[in-house]
Structure 1
């Protein structure tokens, strides 16, 4: 759990990441992936992650999805 966003639990982020509706790579080194998924409470969360070999993925940003990220991944209006 994050002190900055206490309303978003680790389980919420994991559920959104594992069931991502849409994600895309950003042109960074290492490649960051931005995505949007739904948590167990039915909220759309945005997340930014990097691959953390050999462990898997490191999500370093998660919050309620913003219009900017929805547009970035192609889910905006």
Structure 2
């Protein structure tokens, strides 16, 4: 597995979290962030036992990759041939 650091919250006082990573093996994103523990908020959504909910500040959204800037847009296909 190769994780690529994409962005960290520049205003975080504690180790740069929330942090966004890209996993080039699973072609998915991982978001390290704050656990949502408030029962009232969690009751408003359906969360299976094998999942969790994390929260991150709105200010982080502009740092997320989009469109052609996203790693998956630049990834080499499984057949190894660039299109």
TM-score, normalisation: structure 1: 0.32
Indicate the structure (1 or 2) with the bigger Cα radius of gyration: 2
More strand by share: 1
